[in-house]
Amino acid sequence: MATILLSDDHPFTLMGTKAYVQSLGHHICDMCSNGISAYNMILKYQPDIALLDMSMPGMNGLEVLEKLQTARLDTRVILLTMHNEVSIFNRARELHVKGYVLKEFSTDVLEDCIKAVLNNETWFSPELSNRLNINTDTASDSLLTRLTFAEKKIVELIGRQNTTKEIAQLLFISEKTVENHRSNIMKKLDLPAEKNALLVWAIKNMPGK
Amino acid sequence: MTASSCRFLLSVCLVFACLCCRQPKEQPLAFSEPPPERLDSIGAWLENPDHFQDTTFLEFFDNYFKQQVGAGRIDSAAHLLCLAGKNMCVNYAFDSSFIQTNIRFVAQYGQQIPSRYRTGIYLNLGDMYATVENYESSDFYFRKTLVSPGDYQTALNVAAAKSGMMYNFQNTGKLDSALLIGYEALDLFEKLGSVQGKMAVYTTLSGVYKYLSDYSEAEILGDQARSIALQSRDSNNIYMMYKDKVALYDEMGHPELSAWIDSLYQFYKAWQPKSPSYKLDALSTYSLKLVREGKLPEAGKILHEMAPLYKVVQNDYFSDEYLYALAAYEQKLNNGIAHADLYKRQLPILAEYQDFNRLILFNSVLSENAVLQNDYKNAYHYNQASVAARDSLREKEIRMQVKELDKKYQTEKKEQQIALQQIKLAQKNTLIGFLLAGLAALSLAGVAWYFWRLQKQTKKESAIQQQFTRQLLENTEEERGRIARDLHDSVSHELLTLKREMHDPGATKRIDYIINDIRQISRNLHPVMLESIGLKLSLETLCDQYMEQGELFISHDIHYSSKLHGTAELQLFRIVQEAVSNTIKYAGADACKVTLQEKGPALLLRIQDNGQGFEVEKALNSGKSFGLRSILQRSKAIGARADIRSSAQGTVIEIAIHNDII
């Protein structure tokens, strides 16, 4: 049983979340629909968990987090949001957010999240940065699909018999970065640590250009 | 110069003037020379000046004259009258009955008499009265001569009459009138080509100027008269010229006086005239020179020789010289004064003519004489007179000097005036110059001001344009942001609510897709929460997103400590979006890199690729490169400098912005 503060500028969402949280047996110390009130209430109630929406009038979720940081309050914050953005998530992580839940999946996972956070763990929606495009790349080779675009590019260049130095120059990155990519690729493709293993594989598998 | 001497000279000249009407002339004439009148023997006889000495002259004339009148030959009678009268004038004669004959004849026959004879008669009358110094009557008849001439002889008579009037004016002290009418006569003689007439006038004019103490002018005119005389080879006239020159130089105290006296003497010796007058005059002048040179014995000898001649020559003009030389000789000799009474007689005449030099001499000689006779009263009296004359002479010299100085002063004054005028002119020119320069400067200033205004205007318009662009961008961004937010916040949430009501898994999945689409749209519209997330994170995410979407290999190197205004950050973000999007579309590059560096006060954003490049200028001018233009515009709007370079090796876009730009 924990004290939880709710904040969301969508009244239906707020109601819904309130009902849900209460059903889990937690105590709602207060509710608000605005960032500034949220921050003030956190200061006032010092709840165990602050369950905040991202986009709120007054201050958004990130700003509240910032302020809490500056005020050195260690209230555990869970962001409950529609924003499926890596950038936002990363920033929130910088600001020591404990939980990040995507609203569309919240009904299933909010309970787990709260539980984890109360346990001093972090819990983030796994669907974060899942690019759900109807048109996904249809790559015949399953191995290739394991690679990121960047990795695919590097393999392509290796296939064209470029040296590490050359690759670094072409891609405006450092040789070290190239090496990192190479080792990652080798791992992903389960290639032996032989000298030209990757080169051979690349020539074999990359469509000729 | 005495009155009689003038008269003689004038008469001589006039005769020659009239006689010379038969000589060829060189100058253009007012009238042409008529053919010489044929005279019968009587006329010729009467005309000859020598015959006047004949005591029967007048009788002879009278008879013949009456004959002609009686016969009704008025022309002939008048002609005879002219000839006789002229002869009388030349010989300095005055006969009352002859004069009456003239007056009666004219009164009776008046206009019948041809003009040339009538004027001739009047001229003669004027001359004759002048010889007896009846200037009033003389002028009366001279004036009657002044008709509008219709022929040569009349014109000549008119000129001669004017000459005569000049002479009268001089003698009555009306020197200005004398000069005036003298020049008229000169002009007329010039037109008639009468050289002799001119000579006579020059001589008289010279005398007038001498009387006015204008010696330079007198000398000039005297020289002109002499040059005419020398041409005419008339020894009488030439001698007279010499005499005039000597008299002038004597009065001036000219250093060349002795030389000219020598010339005169030499001329006389070469000439050897019969007339005793010339002899007396020449030798007297010469002996005066000797006296002055201290050669007394020689002088004395000559004077002694001349003594009988003096008694013979009655003409004062020539005998005066003798007395002058004699007085000087006696004074120098200091051996008593023999001819005191002669000198005494001269005094009043000299006083009248203001001949100071002679007055000084004669008075001092007389004074010495008086002393010798123990007549101290008279001695004192003469001495005083001499002193007075000396004073008068001094006074005259001073007056002359004053006149010279005045002339100089006038000239200087005139020169100063000219100089002043020139200065004024120069000043005026300088002023005009300044005004023109000022005008030029003003117009230049005007032009400059116009262009400055124009530039200001352009700048202002440019600034307004800038402002507008900035405002436009801001508004656009605001709108996009709003739309993005609305889309994301409202629509997404509604879809969420819808999803919760859905129970069909297929439907819920589809709703998830829609939600993601909305997210994508929203993301594309406006960078999500740029201010909260920060530029660094946003740019990095942008690049990663491009990579994940398999668009382009893109790396980033971003160092940013958030010093820019929100608007600036947004614009930079947009620039990167635009640049990368262009690279993806056109470059065909292997990779792209986005760099953000802080170099001192400036922030440097660089987006570079290794694509095929393009022609920057061409693209910018084509009007189709909206993306490129928008990069430039956005840079300008945030006060940054944009630099786009492209080659076959790739493209680099650099944006430089100062950190202090809010």
pLDDT of residue B314: 65
The confidence score (pLDDT) of residue B18 equals 56
Q: Do A91 and B532 touch (CB under 8 A)?
A: yes
Give B337 or B104, the one with higher predicted confidence: B104
Indicate yes or no: CB of B591 within 8 angstroms of CB of A172: yes
pLDDT at residue number B529: 82
Query: What average pLDDT does this structure show over B155-163?
Result: 91
CB contact (8 A) between residue A82 and residue B532: no
Can you give the pLDDT at residue A134?
37
Question: With contacts defined as CB-CB under 8 Å, which chain B residues touch A133?
Answer: 516
User: If pLDDT is split at 50, 70 and 90, which confidence band does B2 have?
Assistant: low
- CATH assignment of A3-124, among 3.30.110.60, 1.10.540.10, 3.30.360.10, 3.40.50.2300: 3.40.50.2300
| B519 neighbourhood in chain A, CB within 8 Å | 82-85
Lowest mean pLDDT among A136-150, B155-169, B215-229, B428-442: A136-150
Rg from Cα positions in chain B: 63
Chain B residues whose C-beta sits inside 8 Å of any chain A C-beta: 485, 488-489, 492-493, 496-497, 499-500, 511-513, 515-516, 519, 523, 528-529, 532-534, 537-538, 540-541, 544-545, 547-550, 553, 555, 590-593, 608, 610
pLDDT, position A52: 93
pLDDT, one tens digit per residue, over B161-214 is: 999 999 899 888 888 889 999 999 999 898 888 888 888 899 889 988 888 888
For residue B356, give the nearest of B396, B400, B398 by alpha carbon.
Answer: B396
Task: With CB atoms and an 8 Å threshold, state whether A85 touches B485.
Answer: no
Q: Where are the domains of chain A?
A: 3-124, 142-205
Does residue B519 register a pLDDT over 70? yes
Q: Which two tokens stand for residue B359?
A: 């007055």
Does A134 contact B537 at a Cβ distance shorter than 8 Å? no
B534 neighbourhood in chain A, CB within 8 Å: 91
- Answer whether A157 sits within 8 Å of B555, measured CB to CB: no
pLDDT average, residue stretch B572-577: 93
Weakest-pLDDT range from B89-93, B104-108, B265-269, B569-573: B89-93
Residue B606, pLDDT above cutoff 90: yes
Answer whether B121's CB lies under 8 Å from B105's CB. yes
**CATH (one of 1.10.340.30, 1.10.10.10, 2.40.50.140, 1.10.3720.10) for A142-205:** 1.10.10.10
Higher pLDDT, A209 or B540: B540
Residues in chain A whose Cβ is within 8 Å of chain B: 9-10, 12-13, 16, 54-55, 60, 62-63, 66, 82-88, 90-91, 103-104, 107, 131-134, 137, 148-150, 153, 157, 170-173, 177
Structural domains present in chain B: 533-658 (3.30.565.10)
Q: pLDDT tens digits, chain A, 209 residues: what are they?
A: 889 999 998 888 889 899 999 998 999 999 999 999 999 999 999 999 999 999 889 889 999 999 998 888 878 999 988 888 888 888 899 899 999 998 888 778 898 999 999 998 989 988 876 554 433 444 445 667 777 888 888 888 888 888 888 888 888 888 898 888 888 888 888 878 777 777 888 787 766 54
Beta bridge partners of A78: A51, A99
Residues with Cβ within 8 Å of residue B240, at least 6 apart in sequence: B9, B12, B203, B229
Please tell me which residue, B340 or A28, carries the higher pLDDT value. A28
The predicted model gives B613-634 an average pLDDT of: 86
Question: Average pLDDT for residues B115-131, to the nearest whole number?
Answer: 90
Chain A residues near residue B486 by CB distance under 8 angstroms: none
pLDDT band at B30 (very low <50, low <70, confident <90, very high): low
- Is the predicted pLDDT of residue B15 greater than 70, yes or no? no
Within 8 A of B548 by CB-CB distance, chain A residues are 131, 148-149
Give Cα separations from B319 to A58, B69, B95, B295, B365 (angstroms). 148, 42, 24, 22, 18
Choosing among A9, A67, A82, A97, which should be mutated to test the B contact, i.e. which has the most B CBs within 10 A? A82
Which chain B residues contact residue A13 at CB under 8 A?
A: 493, 496
Gap from A40 CA to chain B (nearest CA, Å):
19
| Degrees, nearest 5: CA angle B117-B123-B126 | 145
Task: Please compute the mean of the pLDDT values over residues B107-128 and round it to a whole number.
Answer: 89
* Contacts with A148 from chain B: Cβ below 8 Å: 547-548
pLDDT at residue B662 in the model: 46
Contact B540 A87 (CB under 8 A): yes
Q: Is B122 in a helix, a strand, or coil?
A: helix
Specify the amino acid at residue A112.
D
Span B90-101, mean pLDDT? 84
pLDDT of residue A31: 93
Whole-number average pLDDT of chain B: 85
**Residue in A with minimal Cα distance to B540:** A87
Determine whether A118 is exposed, middle or buried from the number of CB atoms within 10 Å of its CB (0-12, 13-18, 19+).
middle
